[in-house]
Amino acid sequence: MSAPDVVSYEVDGRIARITLDRPDRGNAITGQLISELVACVERADLDPEVHVMMLSGSGGGFCSGYDLLESAERMGAGVQRAAAPPSGSPLDPAVIGANHDPAGTWDPMVDYAMMGRNVKGFMSLFHCGKPVVCRVHGFCVAGGTDMALCSDLLVIASDAKIGYPPARVWGSPTTAMWAHRLGAQRAKRLLFTGDSLSGREALEWGLAIEAPEPRQLEERTEILLQRIARMPVNQLMMMKLLANQTLYAQGLHATQLIGTVFDGIARHTAEGFAFQSRAAEAGFQEAVRDRDEPFGDRGRSAFKG
């Protein structure tokens, strides 16, 4: 029996609506979710009737990051050796989140190959020929920001939170889009602290194109989508290709390679090992709360990774 879909897809006129649909897990990222996201993006890209895509999340927020809760708590299981993850799975949480004995063997290229596939999945939003508008409500953190920042335009509710808390320990943003979207100085401000921005701050910083009040988020996003959808699809494709060349010229591919390798290293430092040991002892959510307490965030984080 096949698993139920975790990404929904529908076309409404010239708009393809792609929705992350794991509300009971904060739309946390799994291999299945990435695979379905890629399939939906390709489906919309190949549909001549679709002019623009909207990416959103169901439930209380957009995306809480990778679904690592179970694997981060399971010490000693699934220790990564020089073997590839299961066939057909772009993400194996048991491998990425499992404990790695500092005295054991870790193959960074196996890790890179695994996470590199995830980056390619997220970047399908960037590489596809048609514009992608990402609508963010509630929270968009950790790995969830990879999908949001690989989209073309962000409309973020004024009270939503967006950021990369794993910069504090056990993570590196694999798509490396922060500096390209915000500039080096503002990206450093976020990545040196793991702090998050509100939707209002994201608008002030130039990350969001609009930050409406929560009750107006859907309406304001629809207005933007409808305006984009009026454009000829060939013009939209040319404008996206033209604008994206700037990021390619800035060395985006090289930066993503480093970010993906650093993500594996971050999970194998002494601090990373201590974080995972704490997750095994007290639970992953408690480890996250301990991580965030020195920053005044303890108890306020509902995010997974």
Question: Is 86 part of any domain?
Answer: yes
In this prediction, residues 115-138 reach a mean pLDDT of 98
Check residue 76 and report its DSSP letter: T
Distances (CA, A) of 243 to 149, 185, 240: 15, 22, 5
In this prediction, residues 68-82 reach a mean pLDDT of 51
- Using one digit for the tens of pLDDT, what is the confidence trace for 81-98? 333 334 444 444 444 544
> What pLDDT score was predicted for residue 87?
41
- Using one digit for the tens of pLDDT, what is the confidence trace for 195-220? 999 999 999 999 999 999 999 999 99
Alpha carbons 110 and 114: distance in angstroms, whole number: 6
Question: Is 1 part of any domain?
Answer: no
Question: Is 301 part of any domain?
Answer: no
Question: Is 305 part of any domain?
Answer: no
Reduced to 3 states (helix: H, G, I; strand: E, B; else coil), residue 196 is: strand
Question: Is 2 part of any domain?
Answer: no
CATH classification of the domain holding 188: 3.90.226.10
Mean pLDDT of the chain, nearest integer: 89
How many C-beta neighbours within 10 Å does residue 275 have?
Answer: 23
Question: Is 153 part of any domain?
Answer: yes
Question: Is 172 part of any domain?
Answer: yes
Edge-to-edge strands, sheet with 139-141: 139-141, 161-163, 196-198
CB 140 within 8 A of CB 148: yes
In this prediction, residues 58-69 reach a mean pLDDT of 94
Question: Is 302 part of any domain?
Answer: no
Confidence of residue 101 (pLDDT cuts 50, 70, 90): low
CB 119 within 8 A of CB 149: no
- Using one digit for the tens of pLDDT, what is the confidence trace for 240-284? 999 999 999 999 999 999 999 999 999 999 999 999 899 989 998
User: Per the structure, how many domains does the chain have?
Assistant: 1
Residue 170 in this model has a pLDDT that exceeds 90: yes
CB 157 within 8 A of CB 244: no
Residue 149 in this model has a pLDDT that exceeds 60: yes
> How many Å is the maximal CA-CA distance in the chain?
59
Confidence of residue 20 (pLDDT cuts 50, 70, 90): very high
**In which domain, by residue range, is 118 found?**
7-295
Token pair 């508008």 in the structure block, residue? 133
Confidence of residue 3 (pLDDT cuts 50, 70, 90): confident
Give the dihedral of Cα atoms 269, 72, 292, 187; nearest 10 deg.
Answer: 60
Distances (CA, A) of 73 to 114, 170, 287: 20, 14, 10
